[in-house]
Structure 1
Amino acid sequence: MESNDFFPPHDGIGLRELASHLGAELLDDTAGNRRIRSVAPVARAGEGDICYILSRKARGDLESCSASAILCDEALRPIIPDHIPVLLTPKPHAAFAVAGGLLHPIALRPPRILSDAAGIHPAAFVDPTARLEDGVEIEPMAVIGARAEIGAGTRVGAGAVIGADVKIGRNCTVAAGASIIAALIGNNVIVHNGVRIGQDGFGYAPGPRGMIKIVQVGRVIIQDDVEIGANTTIDRGTMDDTVIGEGTKIDNLVQIAHNVRIGRHCGIVSGVGIAGSTTIGNGVMIGGASGVNGHITIGDGVQIAAMSGVMADVPAGARYGGVPARPLKDFLRDVAESMTRSDERAKRRGDRNE
């Protein structure tokens, strides 16, 4: 790949120092002074790059690899070419993620629109009653509403809108074009481009002349260390709050409806829709394009396969998949049986046509 002006290489970290920081074992100490400047996939990693390998399926990629270091576990150590220094770790994927953050810290958050941004840009609007701690950055065309409060180290991107009375903690990033109303945001929260937080939930009652709008007077509460992907929407509660728990990571294009409560350290992948008043426990993983019914409970540690339809409560620790979602082993058995029946029907059709 050509030189990347968006995320340039690091000045360099010594391999011995990097291994110490990652808690990995450098097997060849004579390589300890090599400088690591960037991350790369195995197949095209070159001098100054670090890469990682998780499976023997990537063995072919090692033939073209000239990385200055590779992260792997003990089981894969024998297949690594002798010319590549090995950093041995039981969790190479996690170690690679940490290494990437060290080498490319600016890529951990949405980039600044202006490289020299500092303080409040003259083209931003900040209501006189808003309270901003020292060290807040407000980029051009952003709007900060009446009585809003923003903590030190937080950056509000170009064109973003922070509504009246919103409170945002310290060291947050609100990227370009996002809007936040009726919300309380914790510390170290990342809100990507185009996110919508705190708009109306979808609530109507049938009336004699059609649908009557139900007022939505709740809030959105987002706890510390949450990350929210681009163009995701999180509706405010009807009368209670919509809550996103500490450390939860939400992908792009996710819809979270009013009164939903999501626990800590969950992962919700792109295209998921969660209907109103659903409660999701801690450590839950929901695969892409899944739909979750309203007014149900998903227990701690549940895993939902991609493109599932969750219609009813799911017990803690369960693995579900399919439409309607059911225990994963049942879903996979049903799929296998369906494929067998399909093959048998195709064979019978073929026999009749002979």
Structure 2
Amino acid sequence: MAVLVTGGAGYIGSHTVAELLARGEEVVVADNLQQGHRQAVLGGKLYEGDIRDAAFMDRVFQENRIDAVIHFAAHSLVGESMQNPAKYYHNNVYGTLCLLEKMNEYGVKKIVFSSTAATYGEPENVPIVESDRTLPTNAYGETKLAMEKMMRWFDTAHGIKYVSLRYFNAAGAHESGRIGEDHKPETHLIPIILQVALNQRPHISIFGDDYATPDGTCIRDYIHVTDLSDAHILAVEKLRGGGESSIYNLGNGKGFSVKEVIEIARRVTGHPIPAVMEARRTGDPAILVASSERTRAELGWKPRRDSLEQIIESAWTWHQSHPAGYAD
């Protein structure tokens, strides 16, 4: 039986494909390659197409014996979602509806969903726990929450069991050095810092240093992308074992400030990485950190690359060998 990975040519998706292959799984990837990269798919069967295309999805399901789905295919830029919410509702929400309908049609009853801790909005607790209220502050988080709710009703009506994984910032690169993080435009802090170290940017901007944190800069969660991949695979194993639908956070439990990330990147790269202080950005909470205690207890998830140095070192190794990303 095969695992279908939607969005499997993207950053987290491709790392999950690599880990599935390392475990001897049969892997099928469906990706329209708008954001993903063909070179990032290290094996399995790649189908280029859109999950909203019924004929395309019929071919994927008819040509493979799929027993579980890991769903990454979604737009994920907060700013863009506020400027063009229709794009996010059509791709994220309608795309998930199309996927769930095909899963039900072909009798596939297990899905692991790559969600986001943005479903919580402004945190009421630090670290955030799964029982906290969900009140997204942007269209991206709202669409992910809508996707989760849709899965709950498909479980009720059709018995499609799901695990939704909520997390903030994936970072780092695969230990093989073959795949890493390549977004255009790049919006994530660590690769932007490393672009400075590669002399592709003159400096890194720090948006505000007057937050209620130890050094005045925002604190965020960072998890190595392969550890995130491991969590998705553990969730598949839970569903294969007859587990019930669940929602889990993935987090490091403490977070790192912007200044801490920059300083560690300076040590790793040996580059001065100039920083320029700028005004706060609207809507940036001081601290966003998720608790993963429940995930560790129920899924047996234990991050193996939990130091920020390890995360940045792996990213730096990949970016040095791929200074232009997959265009190299």
Question: TM-score band (shorter)?
Answer: under 0.3
- Decide which structure has greater helix share: 2
Which of the two has higher C-alpha Rg? 1
> Which fold has the larger relative contact order, with Cα–Cα distance below 8 Å and residues 6 or more apart in sequence?
2
- Decide which structure has greater strand share: 1
TM-score by length of 2: 0.23
